[in-house]
């Protein structure tokens, strides 16, 4: 038997609040707090941003593909900063300076470090990072089998 909970379940509270994605050598301090994707807030924000910039995107796609790609990436980074990355551990620095969480800071980091964006996306999409607590074992049921 295969229980779908084991194959596809995840902890909704962890997904909504975020979990620590360790990015440095000290797990207790070197982490970024990441919510699961997809999530409704992220999906809604992406849609809002693309609707707000639809005219610019359309014009750029016809006239300046590189600028269109840059705008697209910028909008995606903004949505991630607003709905996926929700905090930093106390050990996270950039160029030797401690980071305080702010949406604009996250957007800038995503722009400056594309591999960070990729890692956050990969982590946020992996449901195993938001594990469910094991179900209680029913000893009586096991004894009857």
Question: What distance, in Å, lies between the first and last C-alpha atoms of the chain?
Answer: 14
- Domain membership flag for residue 3: no
pTM score, two decimals? 0.85
Q: For residue 68, what are the domain limits?
A: 15-130
User: Would you say residue 24 lies in a domain?
Assistant: yes
Q: What are the respective helix, strand and coil percentages of the chain, to the nearest 5?
A: 60, 10, 30
From CA 88, how far away is CA 72, in angstroms rounded?
25
How many domains, the chain? 1
In a domain, 42, yes or no: yes
Cβ pair 53, 68 in contact under 8 A: no
**pLDDT, tens digit, 9 for 90 and up, residues 4-61:** 988 899 999 999 999 999 999 999 999 999 999 999 999 999 999 999 999 998 888 8
């Amino acid at each position: 038997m295969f229980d779908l909970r084991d194959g596809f379940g995840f902890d909704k509270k962890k997904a909504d609040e975020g979990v620590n994605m360790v990015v440095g050598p000290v797990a207790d301090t070197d982490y970024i707090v990441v919510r699961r994707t997809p999530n409704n807030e992220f999906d809604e924000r992406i849609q809002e941003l693309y609707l707000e910039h639809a005219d610019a995107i359309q014009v750029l796609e016809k006239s300046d593909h590189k600028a269109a790609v840059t705008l697209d990436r910028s909008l995606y980074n903004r949505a991630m900063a607003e709905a996926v990355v929700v905090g930093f551990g106390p050990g996270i620095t950039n160029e030797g300076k401690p980071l305080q969480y702010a949406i604009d800071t996250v957007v800038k980091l995503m722009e400056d470090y594309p591999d960070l964006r990729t890692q956050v996306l990969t982590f946020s999409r992996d449901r195993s990072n938001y594990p469910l607590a094991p179900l209680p074992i029913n000893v009586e049921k096991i004894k009857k089998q």
